[in-house]
Structure 1
Amino acid sequence: MTGYKEWLRQYKEYLQIEKNASPHTVHMYIRDLEEFQEFLLKEVVSTIDDIDMGVVRLYLSQLYDNGLSRRTVSRKLSSLRGFFRFIEREEGIEKSPMMDVRLPKENHYIPQFFYEEEMEELFKSADTSTPLGQRNLAILELLYGTGIRVSECANLELERIDFSLSTILVTGKGRKERYIPFGEFAKSALENYIENGRKELSAKSGSASSKVFLNNRGNSITPRGIRVVLDKLVTNASMTVDIHPHKMRHSFATHLLNEGADLRSVQELLGHEHLSSTQIYTHVSKDRLKDVYENSHPRARK
């Protein structure tokens, strides 16, 4: 398709250099736009100027026909909206075809989280007599104790842990840095792993890594490797629940709010740019408050 590929190249540079977007964000945006390009080729849309609102709505219909959720469709449309806004600003088109296209309303989303009793079972499932077991417990304690993303955990460097202040410095989305405190359990697990298990794992590799968490070969662990660790801990605990990396983050936020933390503080700890991203956890907390009220107030029920 004439012109699209070159605009895509320019937009990628714009995201990386001017917007300073994270590699993950850039990858997601470009992947969405490449999928739209494939659709345009199938529909024999030959130039950028031929893309209008009708073409975009046809693409929307196809996404829904493929069984994608409203949340996913909204993200793909956001990618298109940003792309065409960029082209319009650079005077590549007179009017964005996204001008009158409305994003679909998202389904009500309640984040899944672990109950405190389930978290205790996970902590007990790590065999701290082995280097990998010490690492696994440190990963689990840090994810739950700080609410950081799995990618932030995998990229954490030794020099960014301050044991005297019990804080870590992480680089989040948009390469924004934030300090996060951690508690005594995470501190103990981290110290034990770094002083013992990590030294043994590091000896297996020919080169020293600055990253905190290492794999069984002594190299830096990947986000996928951390997912494998979490799956293994659930299996060891003989739990039948599903686990995904964000579930630890959800548990961190939900438990803080249940114990009275204010929303703004949780927002800052999670590294959310907008408060609306943090507000999804208030639904869970409201349910908890309702249960407490109904079970405690003498005139809550007849």
Structure 2
Amino acid sequence: MLLSEATDRYTVHLADVRRLSGATVRAYRADLADLAAVVGDREIADIHLDALRDWLWTATRRGDARSTIARRAAAARGLFEWALEGGMVEIDPTLRLVTPKRGRTLPNVASADGLAELLDTLVAAAADGDPLALRDAAILELLYGAALRVSELCGTDTVDLDRSNATVRVLGKGAKERVVPYGAPAARALDAYLVRARPVLAARSATAGSALFLGARGSRIGTRAVYDLVARTVGPVVGATTVGPHVLRHSAATHLLDGGADLRAVQEMLGHASLGTTQIYTHVSGERLAAAYRLAHPRA
């Protein structure tokens, strides 16, 4: 079987059987297309360890980030493991493939005071009833208040909100469902949006359906619109020109830990499969602690 055909079948397996997200499947497909571009679209059984090493070395010389190279190696490992189980290859060459460890980069985090001031300003600006202003305030309050991923927010329907208990049910990575609480400011912003703004936006389109958040034309809001909203509003607070919705998730996790939240509770709220993924936020908090110590302690 040619590499291109194996890639097609493997990515279908990732989407339909393993239920990975569309973004992950697209990334793996692009990685394996890069492999074919370097080693050629040959029989998968003829791809050996040396060819895979050359492929990763090409990526290194090209200047690809360590995280990208590590992901590409993971894509190859998954492909050959799947091919071995299916009898398409007799030996898995990736068993001896060594790749660089992913670098741990600390995420951008907004200060709690800076975010509070921004969100209060947006809520006040929406007081005149502008539908988009009300929607934007509710989006940012929920992204931060529930530490959601942008895909989770955009995929949420009105029935997923339990307004009496201030929780939202979301579908996370790997189609894993979880119920997340949100606070009083998010509850007030959501109530204002649902009563005063969503009906106005829904009337603009026949495709509004049950989507919680709607775009200016009345259909379900897309991730690009949320990215633009966050970059425009939260970017100046973080002091970065390129920020996305994840900055609010990062900030929420860090502020929870700074406030004394249990690490495993934060893991459950974020929907992380591994506690190690959540632990990066302890490093962020630790950096702040060290900075405060150096600044204030007389024996620092």
User: What TM-score, normalized by structure 2, do the two folds share?
Assistant: 0.92
The one-letter amino acid paired with 2:77 is R
Tell me what 2:166 maps to: 166
- SS in structure 2 at match of 1:71: helix
Q: Which residue is equivalent to 2:103?
A: 107
State the alpha-carbon separation in 2 of the partners of residues 239 and 267 from structure 1. 24
How do 1:119-158 and structure 2 match up within 5 A?
119-126=115-122, 127-128=125-126, 129=128, 130-158=130-158
> Could you list the runs of 4 or more consecutive aligned residues of structure 1 that deviate by over 4 angstroms after TM superposition?
237-240, 291-297
- Of 59, 80, 95 in structure 2, the residue corresponding to residue 63 of structure 1 is 59
| Displacement after TM superposition at 1:204 (Å) | 1.1
Pairing partner for 1:118 from 114, 117, 138: 114
Counterpart residue number, 2:73: 77
Q: Distance in 2 between matches of 1:159 and 1:67?
A: 46
Q: 1:239 to 1:182 in 2, by over 3 A?
A: closer
**Counterpart position of 1:27:** 26
Amino acid at match of 2:206: G
* Cα shift at 1:152: 0.5
| Equivalent residue in structure 2 for 1:49, among 36, 45, 60 | 45
- Please list the CA deviations of residues 46-92 of structure 1 after superposition, one character each: whole Å capped at 9, or x if unmatched: 32232111111111111111211111110111011000111111111
Paired position in structure 1 for 2:39 = 40
> Is 1:125–1:233's contact at 8 Å kept on the other side of the alignment?
no
1:1-302, aligned counterparts within 5 Å?
A: 3-41=2-40, 46-126=42-122, 127-128=125-126, 129=128, 130-234=130-234, 240-242=239-241, 243-291=243-291, 301=299
Counterpart AA for 2:43: T
Shift of 1:36: 1.4
CA distance in 2, matches of 1:86, 1:124: 51
Q: Is the 8 A contact 2:110 2:237 kept in 1?
A: no
Q: CA deviation at 1:234?
A: 4.1
Contact 1:258-1:288 at 8 Å conserved across structures: no
Percent identity among equivalent residues?
36
TM-score w.r.t. structure 1 length? 0.91
Which ranges of structure 1 fall in alignment gaps of 5 or more residues? none
Letter in 2 for 1:288: R
How far apart are 1:239 and its partner, in Å?
7.4
**Matches of 1:168 and 1:195 in 2, distance apart?**
17
Q: Deviations over 1:124-179 (max 9, x none)?
A: 44230311010000000001101110010111100000011110000000100000
Measured against aligned partners, the alpha-carbon deviations of 1:173-206 in whole angstroms (never above 9, x if no partner) come to 0100000000000000000001001111111113
* CA distance in structure 2 between the partners assigned to 1:227 and 1:196 by the alignment: 24
Q: Cα RMSD (Å) of the superposition?
A: 2.0
- Compute the displacement of 1:286 (Å): 1.4
